[in-house]
Amino acid sequence: MKPMNCPAHCLMFGSMTRSYRELPMRIADFGVLHRNEQSGALTGLTRVRRFQQDDAHIFCREDQIEKEVVACLEFMKFVYDIFGMSYRLELSTRPKKALGKKELWDQAETALAQAMDKFAGEGNWRENPGDGAFYGPKIDIKVMDAMDRVHQCATIQLDFQLPIRFDLRYRKKGGANGDDSSSADDESEVSSTTTNDDGDEEDPNVLPPDFARPVMVHRAMLGSVERMFAVLLEHYGGKWPFWLSPRQALVVPVGKSFVPYANQVKDRLKVAGFHADIDDSSNSLKKKVREGQLAQYNYILVVGEKEETNDSVAVRNRNNEMEGEKKIDEVIAEFRILSETFQQDVLEDGL
């Protein structure tokens, strides 16, 4: 059980001698995390004790910080554009209780500010003084749902402290007489604590001249999957876009004699990779369609004698708008387009 992935990724980086040629090194983890939150702080899916996080850590050189942070911001934009959510950026700076020297904090905050200027432009983000993590400043991405409610999901954090705490290092360019290759002797040398001429132990964080500290970038795009699911529920109001919907199509036969054909249609949709169900109850057609709409099926496919003869279906969307008769192969092709293009509003655009 672990509350975070950062220490494990630091140990992975520090398990062998690293060269500047290996940076940036990106390590991602989508594992299960546990945090013993106070019972009064637990809230639905937004704060739980066991969760999964799309966590990643990037170990890079100082001259690579801006490029890596901008790449993280572009990744974030790609993700939230697909969800159809807007966002705003905030730079959270050094809190009162913080690790490390103020000079390192200033350097980290400047690097993040430059990256945000490059990504969003000057004046298109705001500063949030004193709200950084205890180990480094961070970029908070405040996401707005369809009702303009604000949610904290994605985050990008810059960390100079953990590399010091875990004594992480890499061989600089031109180090070891211009040779950046590693050896068993190098391993033992750089992992041991240095001593002075009198035999007294020196600061273990002092690096040999051939080595430098990496900078660590923490990034999560969704945050916890559980919290993101709750946010998306609020954003879509239960009306999931087709590509994300667990109820994409409901096949409705107009009578019992057309149930076998309705099952064939359902099976063809499932083989094509779509979520499809059938309502073969004895309810009236009107009631079946209404219940399908209330269950938020994106599309209701009505079949009868004409549709069975023509190998087709009569298409309605969940707004109860008739889209006419279409061949099953045509419907499958258009469903694929909806899935592949992450179309947001199938209610207006339809097929």
Of 6, 10, 60, 153, which residue is the catalytic one?
6
Beta strands in 195-311 (DSSP E): 211-212, 215-224, 249-253, 276-278, 299-303
The closest alpha carbon to 293, from 269, 318, 310, 273, belongs to 318
Of 55, 140, 210, 279, which residue is the catalytic one?
55
The closest alpha carbon to 248, from 268, 226, 275, belongs to 275
Torsion on CA atoms 177, 180, 181, 182, rounded to nearest 10 = 90
* Secondary structure (3-state) at 49: coil
Would you call 72 a catalytic residue per the annotation?
no
Would you call 138 a catalytic residue per the annotation?
yes
What letter does residue 57 receive in the DSSP assignment?
Answer: E
Of 57, 171, 235, 326, which residue is the catalytic one?
57
Q: Specify the DSSP element, H or E, that contains 110.
A: helix 102-120
Of 138, 227, 266, 318, which residue is the catalytic one?
138
Would you call 316 a catalytic residue per the annotation?
no
Of 9, 151, 213, 218, which residue is the catalytic one?
218
Would you call 57 a catalytic residue per the annotation?
yes
Of 53, 64, 157, 161, which residue is the catalytic one?
53
Would you call 153 a catalytic residue per the annotation?
no
Dist. CA 281–CA 259, nearest whole Å: 10
CB 161 within 8 A of CB 100: yes
Active-site positions? Answer: 6, 35, 53, 55, 57, 138, 218
